Structure 1
Amino acid sequence: MTVFDESERLIWAGRGDAYAASFAKLCAYPVGRLLDAAGVGEGTRVLDVGTGPGTVAAAAVARGARVTAVDREPSMLALAARTAPEAGLRTALLPELPFESGEFDAVVANFVLNHVGRPRAALEELRRVVRAGGRVAVTVWARPPAPGQALLGRAIAAGGAVRPPHLPAGLDPDEDFPRDEAGLGALFAAAGLADGACGTLRWDHRAGREEWWSAPAGGVASSGRLVRAQTPEVRAAIKRCFDRLSVEFADPDGKLRLPHAALLAHGRR
C-alpha cells in the first residue's frame, strides 16, 4: 500500500453517510453510460469495483446483470447492502482483487482510479479479472477541473488553508497520468486493453449551497480532510469564501448550477 493509498483509506473511513448526502448524486450521473460502455445487460457477470453506496451495482441489477460489488470502506458497504441487496458484496482493495482471472464478463469502476496510488496496476487488475473479450469501463475526473469542480478548491485556497505535512499532496509523479482523453487512453493501452475509447462527459450538477458545503464540512474526500485539518478560524474563513464564490453559480431559485467534466474510457481484454 502506498502513502497515497493509506491517506485515502483514512480520508474515507466512516464517511459513507456524509458522502451519500453530498457527492453521491454528482457521481451517479455517468452510471448509465458506464454500464453501456461495459456492455452490461441481462445475465452479464459484472464486477463493480469501489461500489461506494452501491449506485452502480443497483443500476446493473436493474438491467438483469449478475452483480458482484466490492469496496474497502465498511460504511460504504453498509449503504450498498441497502441500495443493492441483490448484489454479492465483498471487501476488497485495488490493486489486488480476490477473484480468479477471467471471472467476469464486464468490470466497471466509477471514479475509483482517482483514489488509488498505482492507477496502471489497478487497471491491469481490472483487466485480469475480466474474461477474454470482456470489457472494462471506468470514469475519472478530468483535469484541469471544470468550474463547478474547482469551486471548493478556490474557497479553500482563498480562506488561507495550509496543507499539514501528514497529508500527501498527490500521487507519486511516476504513477500519475494526464487526466485528459489522451492520458487515460494511453493508460488503457499500457494496461493491455484493446479497442480502447475515451470521451469527455460534461454536465451541470444542481445542489443546494449548504448541501454542497456539507461535503468538506463533513470531511468527505481530500478537500474535506484538508478543511477538517485547519483551525476553527481558518475553517470559518473558508466557509465565508465559499459563500462569496458560490454566488457565481447560483440560479434564481438559490440552488447552485455546477459545471463538471469527467472522462469515460472503456476497452476490451
Structure 2
Amino acid sequence: MTEWGGVGAAYEASYASLCAETGDDLSAAFGRAGGRSLLDVGAGTGRLAARLATDGWQVTACEPEASMREIVAREHPRLRVVDGGLPELPFGDDAFDVVTANFVLNHVDDPRRCAGELARVARHAVAATIWSRSPSWFWADVRDRAVIDVPAPEQLPPEKDFVRTADGFGVMLTEGGWASVDVHEKTWTWWVDPAALWLSAEGGVAGAGRLYRGLDAAERHRFRAAFDTLCAELVVDGLVPLEHTAAIAVGR
C-alpha cells in the first residue's frame, strides 16, 4: 500500500475534508443505521467515521498509520479506533453489518484481494470509493510548470491493476467477490485555501508530497513558485476551486 507514514497532521489540514465529501452518499447507500455496526477501513483521521456515527451507526475506525490514529483519538474521542489495515483485517468473518473503504482501494497492491477482504468481514453490505478524477491533475500542472523531470509513476502489474473508471471499478469489485455491485459517480468542486493545499505537499501527503520531499533546494523553489502562480490564476475569493470525481460502489 502507498506509504502514509507520519503525514496525519498534514492530511487532516488538507485532503481530509475533501475525502469526507462522500459521507452523504455512503450513508444513503446503507439506509437507516438503527444502531447497526459499521467498519470504516483506512479511516484516516476519522472524519468519515465520525460523520457516520452521527447517523446512529456503531462505528469502528480501522487505520494502520499511527499519526492518523492519534488525530482520531484527539478529535473524535468517542470513536472506537483499531490499528489494522488491508490486505488482512484483524476481524472475523461477517464481523460488521456494513463495511466502508473510502479512497483506499486505489492505493493497495492487490485491489481484488483487498476487495474480497472487505466483503469477508461484512455481514450485509460493503462500499468503497476511488478517484475517477483525482487531485493529481493539479499537481501535474505544477510539476510541468516547474520543469521537473520525474520518472513515470509506478504502476501495478497488469494482472493486478484495473481501469480507474466507474465501469472498471465495478468489474474489479465483481472479480474480487462482491455481489450485486452498483457504481455511480459524484463530481464536486473542492474550495480549498492555498495554504492548506500547500501543507499537503510540504507535509508529504500522497504523490505530490512524496515528489516534493524528493526534490533538491532549487527544484523545491521552482515547485513552490509554480504552485503560487497556478493558485493565483485559479483563486476566487481567496480559495482555489478544484473539481474532482469519485466512483462510489456498493455491494450486497
TM-score where L is the length of structure 1: 0.88
Structure 2: give runs of 5+ residues left out of the alignment: none
8 A contact 2:115–2:178 mirrored in 1 = no
Structure 2 counterpart of 1:242: 227
The corresponding residue for 2:80 is 88
Tell me if structure 2 keeps the 8 A contact 1:149–1:260: no
Partner of 2:155: 170
Which one of 99, 104, 109 corresponds to residue 112 of structure 1? 104
Distance 1:49 1:19 in 2: 16
Provide the residue aligned with 1:263 in structure 2: 247
Counterpart position of 2:205: 220
Q: CA deviation at 1:40?
A: 5.8
Q: Alpha carbon RMSD of aligned pairs, Å?
A: 1.8
- Structure 1 counterpart SS, 2:21: coil
TM-aligned CA deviation for residue 160 of structure 1: 2.7
Q: Give the secondary structure class of the aligned counterpart of 1:113.
A: coil
1:157 to 124, 131, 144: 144
1-side partners of 2:13 and 2:90: how far apart? Answer: 30
Match of 1:126 in 2: 118
CA contact 1:31–1:110 (8 Å) conserved in 2: no
C-alpha distance in structure 1 between counterparts of 2:230 and 2:91, whole Å: 46
Q: Which residue of 2 aligns with 1:35?
A: 27
Aligned-partner residue type, residue 197 of structure 2: W
Which AA in structure 1 matches 2:22? Answer: P
Contact 2:87 2:117 in 1 (8 A): yes
Matching residue within 136, 151, 160 for 2:126: 136
Give the secondary structure class of the aligned counterpart of 2:82. strand
Is structure 2 residue 59 aligned with structure 1 residue 67? yes
Tell me the secondary structure at the aligned position of residue 34 of structure 2: coil
* TM-aligned CA deviation for residue 63 of structure 1: 1.4
1:51/1:40 Cα in 2 relative to 1: closer, same or farther (>3 Å)?
A: farther
Structure 2 distance, partners of 1:235, 1:15, is: 19
How much does 1:260 deviate?
1.0
Give the share of equivalent positions with the same residue, in percent: 38
Determine the C-alpha separation between the residues in 2 that align with 1:84 and 1:125: 26
The C-alpha deviation readout for 1:104-163, integer Å capped at 9, x for no partner, is 1100011111221111111100000011xx1111111114x4xx6511121123313343
The alignment partner of 2:180 has SS state of strand
Secondary structure at 2:185 match in 1: strand
Cα separation, 2, equivalents of 1:118 and 1:39: 30
Match of 2:69 in 1: 77
Q: Find the aligned partners of 1:54 and 1:210 in 2 and give their Cα distance.
A: 22
Aligned length: 252
Superposed displacement of residue 195, structure 1: 1.7
- Between 154-163 and 25-34, the greater mean CA deviation after superposition: 154-163
Q: Are the counterparts in 2 of residues 156 and 227 from structure 1 also a CA contact under 8 Å? A: no
Equivalent AA in structure 1 for residue 126 of structure 2: V
**Structure 1 pair 68–61 and aligned structure 2 pair: CA distance change class (3 A):** same
Contact kept, 8 Å, 1:151 with 1:242, in 2: the verdict is no
Task: Decide which moves more: 69-78 or 150-159.
Answer: 150-159
